Amino acid sequence: MAPQDIPGASGANSGTRVRPLDRRDAAPPVLRPLVVLVDDDPAVLQALRRALRDEPVELRTTTDPEEVIDWVRREDVRVVMADYRIPGLLSGATLLQIVKAASPATRRLMLTAWPDDALVRRAGEMGLMETLAKPWDDEELRRRIREALSPRDEE
């Protein structure tokens, strides 16, 4: 298509000159912290996504723990929240231990339908920030994600 065929382009029939888009005119992209959610139940992931949709984060959800490991190794994942009991070879608890080894700065949260004292104790031993019980309160979920994203003192 010739410039004279484009509406608003300079040409014989147009007194308006269109300036090409200059990338310097665009605002710099806003980098949002990457939060990864993993659960074997797609409906749970959809509910988590819905609860966090207005948070200023990039959300990634998956049912595949191996995918999480790949993301953590390749990208700056700030928070991983995993279900404790993911069926298969790689449980949520094991996944969070691998995440800790691969990226010590990544905050780790555990989601579980069966919270008990032994699990909370184990979570502490694993260096997790917290466990969150299913079903969760959406406001509590958002608060915990915000806390996980907040700066902390390194020991």
Q: What residue spans define the domains of the chain?
A: 31-149
Strand partners, 111: 83, 132
pLDDT given for residue 155 in this prediction: 39
2: pLDDT strictly greater than 60? no
Distances (CA, A) of 13 to 2, 4, 5, 18, 21: 13, 8, 10, 13, 22
Split at pLDDT 50, 70, 90, the class of 117 is: low
* 92 closest CA partner among 142, 137, 37: 37
131: pLDDT strictly greater than 70? yes
The helix/strand/coil state of 138 is helix
Split at pLDDT 50, 70, 90, the class of 118 is: low
Handedness of CA 15, 21, 24, 27 (dihedral sign): positive
22: pLDDT strictly greater than 80? no
Pick the residue with more confidence: 59 or 29? 59
Q: What percent of the chain has pLDDT over 90?
A: 52
The helix/strand/coil state of 92 is helix
Contact 52, 59 (CB under 8 A): yes
Alpha helices by DSSP H, listed for 29-127, are 42-52, 65-74, 92-102, 117-125
Fold of 31-149: Rossmann fold (3.40.50)
Residue 102 per-residue DSSP state: H
The helix/strand/coil state of 146 is helix
